[in-house]
C-alpha cells in the first residue's frame, strides 16, 4: 500500500508563501510527476512529503495515517536524489544492503536480498564493483536499489536524472519506468523537464508559482491545456500564441491578419496553435515569410514571420520540399485545432469553435 494525500498543504519561508494550499491525492501504485519551471515549489512539496521540510499549515497522510509531524525515518518513504551519494569504499552489493545494517537483518539474508535486487536492476554481474567503476546510469540504479531494499510505501525522486548526459538520461528514464511498473510502488517524481514528465508519468501535476496549474494524464494536458502557461510549457517546439479578437465569424490578430472562424465566443482571446497544426503554403503575396528552416531528420521546424508575429511550424518531408527560406507563404489552421484562451485571464475557453 502507498496512498499519499495532501490536504491544504502550505509552506512559507520568512513569511513569503512558496507553496499555496495544495490538495492532492496520489493513488497506490501511481507514478505522478510534479513538473514546472525552476523555483515553482516542486522540491519543497516533495521535501514536505518526505518530512525533510515542515509544513506551515495543512496535513499529509500516507496510507490514511497522518504523518505531518513524523520524522522522515518514520514515514516509510525512500527518497532518490540527483546526487546519489553512494559509499565509495563499499561494493555495489554492500551499498544496496547498507540500509539493512540499522535493522539488524542477518548478514546472509541482507546479502541475498541485495543480490536479488541487483539482479532485478540489471546489476547482478556488477555487485563486486565499487561505485567509481560504474557508469552514471548504473550508479543511479544502485541508489534506487538502496531505496528499494527498505521496502518503502512511497518512492520520492528529486530530479534523479539531471546529472546524466542526454543519451543516458533517456535510457535511465525508461529503465526507471520499467522498475517502477515492476514494483508497483507509489512514486512521486520532481522535474523541471516537461519531456521527462510527459514520458514518465501516469499523471502530471503542472505547478506554477506554488500553485497547481493543471493535473491530468500527459495526453490530457497536451490536448487540452488549462491555460496559456501550461499550453506553452508542455510541448516542444512551444505552442504558438496569437493575440486577437473573435467576432463570431472570424479571428483577427492584433497584427491585422484574419482567419475565418465561426464561434459562439466573441471578444479578446489568445489563440494557441501547436506547431504541427499550422499549414504553410507557398503564395506569391504572403502574408507570411519563412525566416528559417531547421531540419530534424524527416521533418523540419520552420520559423515564419507574419508581420510582427513570429510563428513556428513543424513541417513533414513532403510539404517541406515546396518551402525555402525567404519564401512567402499563407499560414492556415483547422478551427478545431485551435486552443482558445481568454484574453485577460489566459484560461482555456471550452467549446469555442463551431466550425
Ligand atoms: P523548485 O523545486 O520548483 O525549483 P523549490 O521548491 O526548490 O523550487 O523552491 C521554491 C522557492 O522557495 C524558491 O524561490 C526558493 O528560493 C525558495 N526556497 C526553497 N527553500 C528555501 C529555504 N530553505 N529558505 C528560503 N527560501 C527557500
Mutate to test the pocket of ligand 1, among 10, 12, 18, 233 (most ligand atoms within 8 A of CB): 18
Residue 315 shares a structural domain with residue 225: no
Last residue of a domain, one of 181, 197, 232: 232
Residue 335 shares a structural domain with residue 226: no
Residue 53 shares a structural domain with residue 184: yes
Alpha-carbon dihedral sign for residues 336, 342, 346, 348:
negative
Asked if the model's pLDDT at residue 149 lies above 80, the reply is: yes
Q: Is the minimum distance from the CB of 42 to ligand 1 under 6 angstroms?
A: yes
pLDDT per position as a tens digit, 235-279: 999 999 999 999 989 999 998 999 999 888 899 999 999 999 999
Residue 139 lies in a domain: yes
Last residue of a domain, one of 232, 251, 285: 232
Cell of 143: 541508489
Residue 127 shares a structural domain with residue 166: yes
Residue 226 shares a structural domain with residue 186: yes
Residue 353 lies in a domain: no
Residue 197 shares a structural domain with residue 259: no
Ligand 1 atom with the shortest distance to the CA of 207: 3
- Whole-number Å distance, alpha carbon 38 to ligand 1 midpoint, is 9
Residue 267 shares a structural domain with residue 140: no
Residue 167 shares a structural domain with residue 76: yes
Overall domain count for the chain? 2
Cell of 66: 497522518
Nearest residue to 152 via CA among 188, 104, 106:
188
- Whole-number Å distance, alpha carbon 159 to ligand 1 midpoint, is 14
pLDDT per position as a tens digit, 273-293: 999 999 999 999 889 999 999
Structural domain that includes position 261: 239-342
Residue 219 shares a structural domain with residue 246: no
CB distance 250 to 289 below 8 Å: no
Q: What is the CATH number of the domain that holds 271?
A: 2.40.50.140
Q: What is the CATH number of the domain that holds 30?
A: 3.40.50.300
Mutate to test the pocket of ligand 1, among 34, 39, 188 (most ligand atoms within 8 A of CB): 39
Q: Is the minimum distance from the CB of 38 to ligand 1 under 6 angstroms?
A: yes
Burial class of 64 by CB neighbour count within 10 A (0 to 12, 13 to 18, 19+): exposed
Closest protein CA for atom 5 of ligand 1 = 41
pLDDT value at residue 176: 81
pLDDT value at residue 115: 94
Residue 298 shares a structural domain with residue 332: yes
Closest protein CA for atom 7 of ligand 1 = 43
Closest protein CA for atom 23 of ligand 1 = 13
Q: Is the minimum distance from the CB of 34 to ligand 1 under 6 angstroms?
A: no
Q: Is the minimum distance from the CB of 210 to ligand 1 under 6 angstroms?
A: no
Total residue count of the chain as it appears in this document: 355
Residue 47 shares a structural domain with residue 186: yes
Residue 299 shares a structural domain with residue 206: no
pLDDT value at residue 175: 79
Give mean pLDDT, residues 321-327: 90
Q: Is the minimum distance from the CB of 87 to ligand 1 under 6 angstroms?
A: no
pLDDT value at residue 241: 98
Residue 162 lies in a domain: yes
pLDDT value at residue 168: 76
Of the given ranges (66-70, 153-157, 216-220), which has the lowest mean pLDDT? 153-157
pLDDT value at residue 354: 59
Last residue of a domain, one of 232, 260, 275: 232
For 201, how many CA atoms within 13 A lie in the half-sphere containing its CB? Answer: 29
Amino acid at each position: 500500500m502507498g496512498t499519499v494525500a495532501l490536504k491544504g498543504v502550505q509552506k512559507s519561508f520568512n513569511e513569503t508563501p512558496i507553496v499555496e494550499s495544495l490538495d492532492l491525492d496520489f493513488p497506490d501504485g501511481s507514478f505522478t510527476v510534479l513538473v514546472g519551471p525552476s523555483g515553482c515549489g516542486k522540491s519543497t512539496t516533495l521535501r514536505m512529503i518526505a518530512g525533510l521540510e515542515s509544513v506551515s499549515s495543512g496535513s499529509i497522510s500516507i496510507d490514511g495515517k497522518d504523518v505531518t509531524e513524523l520524522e522522515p525515518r518514520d514515514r516509510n518513504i525512500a527518497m532518490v536524489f540527483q546526487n546519489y551519494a553512494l559509499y565509495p569504499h563499499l561494493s555495489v552489493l554492500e551499498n544496496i544492503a547498507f540500509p539493512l545494517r540499522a535493522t539488524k537483518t542477518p548478514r546472509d539474508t541482507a546479502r541475498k536480498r541485495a543480490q536479488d535486487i541487483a539482479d532485478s536492476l540489471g546489476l547482478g554481474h556488477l555487485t563486486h564493483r565499487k561505485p567509481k567503476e560504474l557508469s552514471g546510469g548504473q550508479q543511479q540504479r544502485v541508489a534506487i536499489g538502496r531505496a528499494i531494499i527498505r521496502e518503502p510505501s512511497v518512492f520520492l525522486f528529486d530530479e534523479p536524472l539531471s546529472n546524466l548526459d542526454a543519451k543516458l538520461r533517456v535510457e535511465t528514464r525508461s529503465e526507471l519506468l520499467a522498475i517502477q511498473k515492476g514494483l508497483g510502488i507509489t512514486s512521486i517524481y520532481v522535474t523541471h523537464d516537461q519531456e521527462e514528465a510527459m514520458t514518465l508519468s501516469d499523471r502530471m501535476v503542472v505547478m506554477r508559482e506554488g500553485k497547481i496549474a493543471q493535473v491530468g494524464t500527459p495526453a490530457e494536458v497536451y490536448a487540452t491545456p488549462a491555460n496559456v502557461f501550461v499550453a506553452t510549457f508542455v510541448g516542444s517546439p512551444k505552442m504558438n500564441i496569437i493575440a486577437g479578437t473573435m467576432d463570431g465569424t472570424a479571428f483577427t490578430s492584433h497584427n491585422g491578419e484574419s482567419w475565418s472562424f465561426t464561434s459562439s465566443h466573441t471578444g479578446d482571446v489568445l489563440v494557441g496553435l501547436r506547431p504541427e497544426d499550422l499549414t504553410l503554403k507557398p503564395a506569391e503575396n504572403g502574408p507570411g515569410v519563412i525566416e528559417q528552416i531547421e531540419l530534424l531528420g524527416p521533418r523540419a521546424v520552420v520559423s515564419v514571420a507574419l508581420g510582427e508575429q513570429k510563428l513556428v511550424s513543424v513541417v513533414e518531408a513532403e510539404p517541406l520540399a515546396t518551402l525555402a527560406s525567404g519564401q512567402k507563404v499563407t499560414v492556415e489552421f483547422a478551427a478545431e485545432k485551435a486552443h482558445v484562451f481568454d484574453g485577460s485571464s489566459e484560461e482555456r475557453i471550452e467549446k469555442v469553435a463551431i466550425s
